[in-house]
Amino acid sequence: MTSPQPRNPGTALTLPWFEDIAVNTPATEARAARLVATRPLRGEWRAAWLVNAIRCMDLTTLAGDDTPARVARLCAKARRPLSDPVRAALGLDRLTTAAVCVYPTMVRSAVHALDGSGIPVASVATGFPSGLMPLSLRLEEIRHAVGEGAAEIDIVITRAHVLRGDWTALYDEIAAMREACGAAHMKAILATGDLQTLSNVYKASMVAMQAGADFIKTSTGKEAVNATLPVSLIMVRALRDYGARTGVRIGFKPAGGMKTAEDALAWQILMKEELGRDWLAPCLFRLGASSMLGDIECALESHVTGRYAASHRHALA
Ligand SMILES: O=C[C@H](O)COP(=O)(O)O
């Protein structure tokens, strides 16, 4: 079960917190590369961090051919992400993913399949992945997903507002979405691969948090470039700055294109080094991934048995 994090009440739109920011791209890239290169994880430590990656995972299916049957299989995997022998050998009584993330029309199936597990359902909404729909329809989509039982809503922003520097329009849109979410926690997907500069990423992060986002999330998984470490570094710096100004802790969700156990470790190292251990828990950190669990499963089986673990022997997620 994911412990709830207090909601972000947001602030008024406060331009002086971000409008003069200028991100040094080479320094950001160097810092991101150094973080991962200097902290190799081995043995028991590596296994513990991989187990934590599962705990923090939003196990996702966002495909055009999703069906209730596929969602039910994914939910079974969320309930039991490792085989019983591997879980027992790791000394774990219980292990689930943090959430299951689906399209709005799949929420009801996911809620049904996860009944009694304590695993929340996250729904994308607001015209995911492009967001290019009238605002009234995007807000209605949020209300629909919440009505179906989604406890978390992953919204997408209008990238054009960022590219034009129209921070008021971006703030008003996200604030309206936050209101439509009601009690459901809101993750704001910035689609950073569309935002052109790291300065825009910082500014959009800050506006999303001022407008009340509980999490900021990198990508939809559908942009040409999805989660990267340099972009993630800028986003976690923004949420650190927001926390220093407001005392409010915001969560971070890298998502899109992350497929390997090494990816899971790299993003956790980033969180620990930049924000501290508190940000290694599902209330403040999620890995959004549709195809990372298999590689983690292989790595953990290999750790437990000492033998190579072939992915074809594992249940499909
Ligand atoms: O929100 C999560 C992403 O859409 C997942 O992206 P992915 O399919 O590249 O793992």
For residue 118, being part of any structural domain is answered with yes
For residue 311, being part of any structural domain is answered with no
Indicate which CATH number applies to the domain containing 40: 3.20.20.70
Residues spanned by the domain of 55: 15-305
3 has a pLDDT exceeding 60: no
From the candidates 77, 187, 203, 217, give the one annotated as an active-site residue.
Answer: 217
Q: Which region, left, alpha or beta, applies to residue 311 given φ > 0 means left and ψ of -120 to 50 means alpha?
A: alpha
Smallest CA separation from ligand 1 atom 4, residue: 221
ipTM: 0.96
For residue 149, being part of any structural domain is answered with yes
* pLDDT digits 0-9 by tens, 45-88: 899 999 999 999 999 999 999 999 999 999 999 999 999 999 99
The pLDDT value given to residue 308 = 73
Selected residue with higher pLDDT from 40 and 98: 98
Report field, pTM of the whole predicted structure over 0.90: yes
Query: What's the mean pLDDT when you consider all of the chain?
Result: 95
Residues 6+ away with beta carbon under 8 Å from 163 = 195, 196, 200
For residue 109, being part of any structural domain is answered with yes
Rounded distance, CA 114 to CA 125, Å? 20
For residue 316, name the pLDDT band (cuts at 50, 70, 90).
low
* Domain total of the chain: 1
For residue 310, being part of any structural domain is answered with no
For residue 9, being part of any structural domain is answered with no
For residue 8, being part of any structural domain is answered with no
For residue 151, being part of any structural domain is answered with yes
Rounded distance, CA 314 to CA 317, Å? 9
143 has a pLDDT exceeding 70: yes
The pLDDT value given to residue 1 = 46
203 has a pLDDT exceeding 80: yes
* pLDDT digits 0-9 by tens, 243-257: 999 999 999 999 999
Query: Candidates 59, 60, 252, 258: which one to mutate for ligand 1, based on the most atoms within 8 Å of Cβ?
Result: 60
Q: Tell whether omega for the bond before 282 is within 30 degrees of 0, i.e. cis.
A: no
